[in-house]
């Protein structure tokens, strides 16, 4: 949703996400404002979204050679799109307080929303005639 600033994911991932974030970042993920140095911000993990791709949609493309595709990372789903969401996109800085707030929420009761912050730095095609994005 390019009109939504933040990214919201289904809460079914919350426990696994919190565990993985804690292991990778050495701190819990929180949507409460925190003070971070630039080094601490850059040390936060990049969140990767693996988005289902119809394997027949691009039959002439080699998913092992395509940039941004799962390829060798997931041999069962090599054509899936890997969307990188670095901390510089999900952590919002407030100049008034000097603190950062995570704008990634694993709180949705149904579905998920990739907000504008997850789309930054990516070329996104909205094909509404065929109900797909790329």
Q: Outline where DSSP puts E strands in the chain.
A: 7-10, 47-51, 81-85, 91-94, 99-102, 104-108, 126-127, 132-133
pLDDT recorded at residue 126: 84
Model-level pTM?
0.83
Q: Is the pLDDT of residue 27 over 80?
A: yes
Task: State how beta strands 99-102 and 91-94 pair.
Answer: antiparallel
SS3 127: strand
Distance CA 14, CA 105 (A): 9
Distance CA 94, CA 97 (A): 6
Q: Is the pLDDT of residue 58 over 90?
A: no
Distance CA 51, CA 116 (A): 16
């Amino acid at each position: 949703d390019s009109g939504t600033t933040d990214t919201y994911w289904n809460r079914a991932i919350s426990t696994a996400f919190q565990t993985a974030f804690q292991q990778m970042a050495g701190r819990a993920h929180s949507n409460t404002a925190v003070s971070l140095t630039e080094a601490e911000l850059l040390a936060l993990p990049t969140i990767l979204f693996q988005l289902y791709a119809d394997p027949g949609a691009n039959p002439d493309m080699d998913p092992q050679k395509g940039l941004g595709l799962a390829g060798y990372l997931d041999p069962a789903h090599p054509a899936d799109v890997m969307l990188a969401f670095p901390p510089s996109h999900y952590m919002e800085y407030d100049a008034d307080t000097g603190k950062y707030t995570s704008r990634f929420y694993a709180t949705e009761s149904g579905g998920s929303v990739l907000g504008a912050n997850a789309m930054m730095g990516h070329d996104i095609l909205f094909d509404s005639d065929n109900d797909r994005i790329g």
